């Protein structure tokens, strides 16, 4: 019963994400128009058979821009969390495995990082180093790895005492090999769950940065950018406000439900 | 309790050092010359700003000296003067803190008011209809771009139906009104921002409360209580709640930085002059003095939040005070 | 109100860039920055000018501003929000009248002597500062001395550095002697005057005056809630007459969408519209009955500037080809929704310096390609992009972040140039980085920017070849001996007809050279609540007669918010 309920979230969330990923990968064929093709005669058209979700103020096809935007948003979400996982896992492994002063130093560093409002750090760094897609991925990752580090460390601490790890140590395996072959695979599942939740947050963060004018550079159609365009047309072109917002909402929701479902499953198994 | 307090405060010292060190590093990470700032095309102004930054941070001195002097000033809450308008940074921050704090405290209260019951009731019948419905609801809030929700609500509640004011903190010309009218006016202005910021934070508390309750409800003493035939509400609220509630306190302490960061967006859209807006304006104006001051202060506020949470926790759970380091 | 005062601030060169560059970032303040020309109120005919005698004193005018003010010391106010407030609190010696002539403000009259070398100002007697201290010639001298003091971080000193000396003849007479005849000199005295008795010996960094200004203007400063609002109240002893409205209240609303929602609920009385709002959002019964909308050309233009140190752009044929390949009409339609006009040079069409004989080049990609081929740019490897000596023609077009119109214009240009085989990469950079890393460092290939103009056509700061040093405004590095000579001649000539002939010549030369591709002159689109009467468009905008605006008692929106006696 419980298992089934958790599965439901996983299925819904996973289904939406898979569909989205397919759409993003197939964007060139899934889109009906060139996402950046300007056609002033077609500006601000409501949804129709020709433009499924309407057009923006330069006459660009919103549906096509959303489809291509999915690429950017997913890329930012997955990329940023990838970076965060990389840093967080490495530091968490080191802290948990070596313990002692390495552990205290790293964990104090995590504490210090957690004291800063992440969004403050993000804004400052983006404003300083500029807003390319790569930069934004990197910055969201660099400011968001602390949870992962704590999680991995806790896993490692509990795994360290388990027999198979003890056995590996007795057998004289090197630290690197134990971490890579034994600790990492076993610590990975909770990390993946939290990463799933993190992807949703990263997509939201990108849209927030866009809202403040510090997101991915236009005309790149990230979903955040599409929503910003919508700000100026509020009340004139409801479709420009509605669809990009819904796209973000559904995607982030899908990631959250998936992560939550996975977590439930993990907790029960 | 006193020794515990002292121990906790002493525990903050390394964190304080870490925070200031990190801030200090950030200053020096600024690409190129940290003193290249200013948004003015006027070379005189940029020159002066550069001079002031050099002076304030003593950029020509050896690094340890720079750091030492800077920390000494920070300890006295002296963050220098803003490059944008020459006012002392601490003064600029001080006048913005009450607004941001009020909104965040209110939204935290709202989160607790809604999140706790949702979590408790959901936990009473895990995977029931209510549980699913509220799970979806709180995640909806968590997944919604804040500014999008804000724009929609402003459009509907503010313009379409005109129930609530759209932005700002105060109706025009209300200064001379009697206090109850002013209070009502303020409440109406705060309604949207507080709701928007609370809706996003609901998921954390509600989900956490739910999982805590589910765990607690599986404990032996709850089974005992139920076996004794105690009515279910008493089991839930007297026995389970107390124990499930404790960890929530820590969550609240930890949520301070998130709330501060989130305030950037909703303060911009609701035209509320708080810390978030100040920070954003400072970043955009390259006002390094204000940026550094705010980063340091916000980290300090987080520390304070954590300390308060620890103390509240210790107060609620005597074991902590006696036992080892909490949190 | 503001635009009127702002047009006083003529010849404050640095303000020009801040002017448009900023204003576009801060759209709502746009109308205050761009000074104005012909009268084309689109929705309503301009109401008859001067004040109706039956004006009732009372009610509050609520202005919406995107940005907060920074510093209200007149000579340091370099952002548009601060300048807007200063314009209401302070006066200059002269100001522009609605017909674009210079008239006295704090100066009652003046004489220009010795062929323009000397100006003698006779000050208006009986003028008092808001603290009741009389305004005298000492204040003029004080303001001048602060302006030219190298320790003062003012961007407005340029025109005043041409002064040889300034003498106080008596309490109400000032004699200004220039080093050489300087035509823009008179207009530069639109600079707001500062009170000596309050600022003598003050430290610019710390003086409370920056946040509590005291001037001679129609409104007195009351209160500034940082980031929230700035409240000014009517000056009962203003030398013209007390403003009819009790209060001028500026609300700071940082988001454009929020601003429009506030307009939709009548919580803001005066603001600027975006072209999209003008075209699509205000044609509703609500807006037709509650607001009046005005439209007139802004006194400024938007352009693409090329770094002429770059060998590709050093070739004039290339620049001319770019001009032919960019369709300005299309940009105006797409970006401004038709609310603007093609620009052909450094003056807006309303200026007396504008040369009607300069006709805008047609959109002609074929001819553009021919010109480029002539300059050596051909698609020799058949990849669709033009190349020369193996290098494809590719450049980065920079513009500042926060300006939707410029970003869209850049996207349209990108597409058109792609059609003739030039690859354009767009980079949108946050304003401060834009200035420090690119403009000041001369580190750009092409930029899309705008200039807000002063009424005087002097082009020294923007196009003279001596102004190419870091921090100066000829950042494209334009250098034409004839233009240099004519610019200097224009500064020395006082007769307007003679000056006009000189600037027309400059206009033609610059258009021939194409250091910029001139794109468009946007329209200013202010919106004012309909309860205010006496609001009218003139060549200097709508705010010049703010003290005459009034709302009939029955229509007051803030009847409870009276001015306590």
What secondary structure letter does DSSP report for A46? P
Within 8 A of A111 by CB-CB distance, chain B residues are 15, 18
pLDDT (0 to 100) of residue C32: 29
- The sign one gets for the Cα dihedral B54, B58, B63, B67 is negative
Q: Is C120 left (phi over 0), alpha (psi -120 to 50) or beta?
A: beta
Q: Is C59 helix (H, G, I), strand (E, B) or coil?
A: coil
Domain at A211, CATH number: 1.10.3720.10
Domains and CATH numbers, chain B: 89-326 (1.10.3720.10)
The answer to whether A58 contacts chain C (CB < 8 Å) is yes
The whole-angstrom distance between A231's CA and the closest CA on chain C is: 6
Residue-level length of chain A? 269
Q: Which residues of C touch B268 (CB under 8 A)?
A: 254-255
Q: Check CB contact under 8 Å for A40 and C426.
A: no
- Nearest CB to C258; choose among B87, B269, B285: B269
CB atoms within 10 A of CB C516: 27
The pLDDT value given to residue B228: 82
3-state secondary structure of B125: coil
In Å, how far are B126, B220, C478, C494 from B225, measured between CA atoms?
19, 9, 88, 100
Query: Rounded to a whole number, what is the distance in Å from the CA of C402 to chain A's nearest CA?
Result: 6
B84 CB within 8 Å of a chain C CB:
yes
* Residue A27 placed within a domain: no
CB pairs under 8 A between B and C: 126
Average pLDDT over residues A192-218: 88
- Residues C323/C364, Cβ–Cβ less than 8 Å: no
Work out the pLDDT band at B32, boundaries 50, 70, 90. Answer: very low
Tell me the chain A residues in contact with residue C426 when contact means C-beta distances shorter than 8 Å. 217-219
Where does the pLDDT of residue C469 fall: very low under 50, low under 70, confident under 90, or very high at 90 and above? confident
Per-residue confidence (pLDDT) for residue C311, from 0 to 100: 93
The pLDDT, as a whole number, for residue C361 is 92
pTM of this structure: 0.84
Contacts with A9 (C-beta within 8 Å, 6 or more apart), sequence order: A257, A258, A260, A261, A264, B135
Is A39 inside a domain boundary?
no
CA distance, residue A236 to nearest chain C CA (Å): 6
Q: Is B173 in contact with C435 (Cβ distance < 8 A)?
A: no
How high is the pLDDT of residue C279? 87
| Per-residue model confidence as pLDDT tens digits over A81-111 | 999 999 999 999 999 888 889 999 999 899 8
Residue C301 pairs in a beta bridge with C451
The arithmetic mean of pLDDT across residues C410-426, rounded, is: 93
Provide, as residue numbers in chain B, all residues whose Cβ is less than 8 Å from the Cβ of C436: 36-38, 46, 286
| A187, two tokens | 């610590």
Q: Look over chain C and give the mean of its residue pLDDT values, rounded to a whole number.
A: 86
Give the pLDDT confidence score for residue B233 in this predicted structure: 78
Closest CA to C159 of C189, C137, C138: C189
User: pLDDT by residue (tens digit) across C298-341?
Assistant: 888 999 999 999 999 999 999 999 999 999 999 999 899 999 99
Highest mean predicted confidence (pLDDT) among B203-207, B234-238, C99-103, C194-198? C194-198
Report yes or no on A139 lying in a domain.
yes
Residue A49 lies in a domain: no
pLDDT at A82: 95
Task: Give me the pLDDT at residue C255, please.
Answer: 84
3-class secondary structure per residue, C407-463: HHHHHHHHHHHHHCCCEEEEEEECHHHHHHHHHCCCCCCEEEEEEECCCCCCCHHHH
Q: Which residues of C touch A38 (CB under 8 A)?
A: 334, 411-412, 415
How far, in Å, are A165, C250, C501 from residue C72 at the CA level?
69, 14, 39
Q: Find the range with the poorest average confidence among B278-287, C19-28, C95-104.
A: C19-28
Q: Which residues of C touch B152 (CB under 8 A)?
A: none
DSSP string, A150-194: HHHHHHHHHHHTSHHHHHHHHTT--HHHIIIIIIHHHHHHHHHHH
- When scoring C79, C255, C263, C443 by the number of chain B Cβ atoms within 10 A, the one with the most, hence best to mutate, is C255
Is any Cβ of chain A less than 8 angstroms from the Cβ of B94?
A: no
Residue A266 in any domain: the answer is no
- Domain containing A183 equals 55-253
Q: Which of C155, C432, C560 has its CB closest to that of B286?
A: C432
Average pLDDT over residues B39-56: 58
Select from C78, C256, C262 the residue whose CB has the most chain B CBs within 10 Å, as the one to mutate to test that interface. Answer: C262
Q: In this complex, do A127 and C433 lie within 8 Å of one another by their Cβ atoms?
A: yes
Q: Which of A123, A217, A227, A241 to mutate to test the interface with C (most CBs of C within 10 A)?
A: A217
Other CB atoms closer than 10 Å to residue A90's CB: what's the count?
Answer: 15
Task: Identify whether A38 is part of a domain.
Answer: no
State which of A232-236, B41-45, B70-74 shows the largest mean pLDDT.
Answer: B70-74
pLDDT at B14: 85
The Cα C10–Cα C56 span in angstroms is 33
pLDDT for the residue B58: 66
Find the closest chain B residue to C19 by CA distance: B41
Distance from CA of B18 to the nearest CA of A (A): 6
Mean pLDDT of C108-116: 92
Phi then psi dihedrals of residue B255, to 5 deg: -85, -5
In chain C, residues 229-258 whose CB comes closer than 8 Å to chain B: 249, 251-255, 257-258
Neighboring chain A residues of C257 at a CB cutoff of 8 Å: 231-232, 234
Q: Within a domain: residue A36?
A: no
Q: What are phi and psi of C220, to 5 degrees?
A: -100, 145
Asked if residue A155 belongs to a domain, the reply is yes
Interface of A with B (CB under 8 A): 1-2, 5, 9, 108-109, 111-124, 127-129, 200, 204, 207-208, 211-212, 224, 227, 231, 234-235, 241, 245, 248-249, 252-253, 256-257, 260
- Could you give the ipTM of this predicted complex? 0.87
Under the banding of pLDDT at 50, 70 and 90, the label for residue B321 is low
Q: Name all chains with 3 or more CB-CB pairs below 8 Å to chain C.
A: A, B
**Minimum-distance CB partner of C334 among A40, A214, A217:** A40
pLDDT digits (tens, 9 = 90+) for C442-453: 889 999 998 887
3-class SS of residue C55: coil
Q: What is the pLDDT of residue C229?
A: 94
Mean pLDDT of C33-37: 30
Burial C238-249 (b: 16+ CB within 10 A, else e): bbeeebbbbbbb
Tell me which of A118 and C130 has the higher pLDDT.
Answer: C130
Whether C430 and B87 lie within 8 Å, measured CB to CB: no
Q: Which residues in chain A (177-216) have CB-CB distances under 8 A to chain C? A: 213-214
φ and ψ at residue B84, rounded to 5 degrees: -80, -45
Where does chain A have alpha helices with state H? 2-25, 27-30, 62-98, 100-115, 118-129, 133-142, 146-160, 163-170, 175-177, 184-211, 223-231, 238-268
A166: pLDDT confidence band, cut at 50, 70 and 90? confident
* A132 touches C at CB < 8 Å: no
Structure tokens at C451: 């200039």
C357-409 tens-digit pLDDT: 999 999 999 999 999 999 999 998 888 899 998 899 999 999 887 778 898 89
pLDDT at residue C11, rounded to an integer: 30
- Report B:28-67 residues touching C (Cβ under 8 A): 36-46, 48
The SS3 of residue B20 is helix
How many domains in chain A?
A: 1
Mean pLDDT score, C482-506: 93
Nearest-by-CA chain C residue for B282: C432
Distance CA A161, CA A158 (A): 6
């Amino acid at each position: 019963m419980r298992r089934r309920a958790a599965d439901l979230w996983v299925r819904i969330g996973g289904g939406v994400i898979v569909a989205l990923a397919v759409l993003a990968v197939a964007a060139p064929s899934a889109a009906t128009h060139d996402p950046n093709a300007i056609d002033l005669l077609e500006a601000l058209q409501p949804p129709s058979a020709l433009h499924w979700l309407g057009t923006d103020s330069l006459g660009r096809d919103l549906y096509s821009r959303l489809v291509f935007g999915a690429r950017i948003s997913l890329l930012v979400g997955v990329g940023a969390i990838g970076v965060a996982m990389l840093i967080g896992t490495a530091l968490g492994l080191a802290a948990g495995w070596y313990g002692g002063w390495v552990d205290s130093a790293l964990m104090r560093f995590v504490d210090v990082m957690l004291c800063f409002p992440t969004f403050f750090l993000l804004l400052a760094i983006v404003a300083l180093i500029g807003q390319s897609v790569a930069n934004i991925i990197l910055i969201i990752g660099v400011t968001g790895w602390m949870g992962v580090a704590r999680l991995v460390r806790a896993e490692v601490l509990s795994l360290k005492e388990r027999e198979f790890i003890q056995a590996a140590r007795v057998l004289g395996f090197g630290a690197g090999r134990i971490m890579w072959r034994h600790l990492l695979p076993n610590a990975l599942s909770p990390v993946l769950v939290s990463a799933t939740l993190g992807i949703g947050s990263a997509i939201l963060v990108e849209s927030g940065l866009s809202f403040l004018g510090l997101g991915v550079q236009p005309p790149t159609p990230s979903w955040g950018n599409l929503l910003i365009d919508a700000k100026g047309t509020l009340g004139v072109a409801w479709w420009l406000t509605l669809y990009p917002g819904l796209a973000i909402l559904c995607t982030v929701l899908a990631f959250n439900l998936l992560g939550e479902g996975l977590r439930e499953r993990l907790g029960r198994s | 309790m006193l020794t515990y307090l002292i121990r906790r405060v002493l525990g903050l010292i390394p964190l304080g050092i870490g925070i200031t060190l990190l801030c200090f590093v950030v200053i020096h990470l600024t690409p190129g010359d940290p003193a290249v700032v200013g948004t003015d095309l006027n070379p005189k102004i940029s020159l002066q700003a550069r001079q002031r930054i050099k002076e304030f941070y003593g950029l020509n001195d050896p690094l340890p000296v720079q750091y030492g002097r800077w920390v000494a000033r920070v300890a006295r809450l002296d963050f220098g003067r803003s490059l944008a308008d020459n006012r002392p940074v601490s003064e600029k921050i001080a006048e913005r803190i009450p607004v941001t704090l009020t909104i965040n405290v209110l939204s935290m209260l709202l989160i607790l008011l809604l999140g706790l019951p949702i979590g408790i009731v959901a936990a009473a019948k895990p995977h029931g209809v209510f549980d699913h419905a509220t799970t979806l609801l709180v995640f909806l809030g968590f997944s919604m771009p804040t500014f999008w929700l804000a724009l929609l609500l402003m459009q509907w509640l503010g313009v379409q139906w005109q129930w609530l004011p759209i932005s700002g903190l105060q109706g025009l010309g209300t200064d001379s009104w009697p206090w109850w009218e002013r209070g009502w006016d303020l409440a109406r202005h705060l309604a949207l921002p507080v709701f928007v910021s609370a809706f996003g934070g609901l998921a954390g508390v509600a989900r956490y409360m739910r999982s805590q309750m589910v765990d607690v409800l599986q404990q032996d003493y709850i089974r005992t209580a139920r076996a004794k035939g105690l009515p279910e509400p008493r089991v839930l609220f007297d026995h389970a709640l107390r124990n499930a509630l404790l960890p929530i306190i820590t969550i609240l302490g930890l949520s301070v930085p998130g709330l501060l960061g989130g305030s950037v967006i909703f303060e911009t859209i609701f035209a509320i002059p708080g810390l978030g807006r100040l920070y954003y304006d400072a970043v955009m104006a390259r006002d390094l003095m204000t940026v550094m001051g705010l980063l340091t202060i916000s980290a300090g506020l987080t520390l304070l939040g954590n300390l308060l949470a620890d103390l509240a926790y210790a107060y609620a759970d005597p074991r902590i005070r006696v036992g080892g380091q909490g949190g | 109100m503001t635009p009127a005062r702002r047009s006083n601030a003529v010849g404050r060169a640095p303000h020009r860039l801040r002017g448009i560059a900023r204003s576009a970032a801060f759209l709502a303040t746009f109308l205050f920055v761009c000074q104005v020309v012909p009268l084309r109120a689109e929705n309503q005919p301009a109401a008859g000018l001067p004040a109706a005698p039956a004006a009732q004193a009372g009610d509050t005018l609520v202005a919406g501003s995107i940005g907060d003010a920074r510093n209200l010391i007149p000579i340091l106010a370099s952002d548009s929000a601060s300048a807007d407030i200063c314009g209401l609190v302070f006066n200059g010696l002269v100001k522009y009248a609605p017909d674009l002539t210079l008239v006295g403000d704090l100066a009652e009259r003046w004489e220009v002597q010795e062929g323009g070398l000397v100006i003698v100002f006779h000050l208006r007697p009986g003028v008092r500062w808001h603290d009741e201290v009389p305004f005298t010639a000492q204040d003029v001298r004080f303001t001048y001395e602060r302006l030219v003091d190298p320790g003062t971080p003012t961007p407005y000193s340029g025109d005043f550095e041409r002064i040889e000396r300034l003498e106080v003849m008596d309490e109400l007479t000032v004699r200004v002697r220039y080093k050489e005849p300087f035509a823009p000199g008179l207009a530069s005295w639109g600079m707001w005057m500062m009170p000596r008795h309050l600022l003598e010996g003050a430290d610019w960094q710390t003086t409370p005056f920056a946040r509590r200004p005291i001037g001679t203007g129609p409104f007195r400063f009351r209160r500034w809630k940082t980031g929230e609002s700035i409240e000014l109240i009517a000056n009962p002893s203003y030398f013209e007459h007390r403003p009819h409205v009790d209060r001028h209240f500026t609300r700071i609303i940082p988001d454009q969408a929020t601003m429009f929602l506030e307009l939709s609920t009548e919580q803001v009385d005066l603001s600027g519209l975006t072209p999209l709002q003008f075209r699509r959002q205000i044609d509703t019964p609500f807006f037709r009955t509650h607001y009046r909308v005005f439209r007139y050309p802004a006194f400024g233009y938007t352009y693409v500037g090329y770094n002429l140190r770059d060998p590709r752009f050093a070739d004039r044929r290339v620049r001319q080809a770019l001009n032919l390949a960019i369709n300005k009409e299309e940009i105006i339609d797409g970006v401004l929704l038709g609310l603007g006009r093609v620009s052909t040079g450094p003056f807006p069409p309303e200026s007396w310096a504008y040369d009607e004989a300069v006709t805008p080049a047609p959109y002609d990609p074929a001819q553009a390609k021919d010109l480029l081929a002539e300059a050596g740019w051909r698609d020799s490897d058949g990849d669709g992009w033009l190349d020369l000596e193996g290098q494809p023609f590719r450049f980065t077009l920079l513009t500042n972040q926060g300006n939707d119109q410029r970003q869209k214009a850049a996207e349209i240009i990108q597409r058109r140039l792609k059609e003739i085989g030039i690859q354009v990469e767009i980079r949108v950079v946050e304003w401060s980085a834009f200035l420090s890393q690119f403009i000041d460092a001369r580190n750009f290939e092409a930029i899309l920017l705008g200039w807000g103009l002063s009424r005087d056509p002097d082009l020294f700061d923007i196009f003279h070849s001596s102004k190419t040093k870091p921090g100066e405004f000829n950042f494209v590095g334009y250098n034409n001996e004839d233009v240099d000579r004519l610019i200097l001649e224009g500064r020395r000539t006082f007769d307007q007809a003679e000056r006009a002939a000189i600037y027309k010549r400059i206009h033609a030369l610059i258009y021939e050279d194409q250091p910029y591709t001139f794109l468009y002159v946007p329209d200013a689109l202010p919106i004012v609540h309909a309860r205010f009467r006496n609001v009218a468009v003139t060549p200097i905008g709508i705010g010049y007669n703010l003290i005459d605006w009034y709302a009939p008692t029955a229509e007051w929106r803030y009847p409870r918010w009276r001015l306590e006696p």
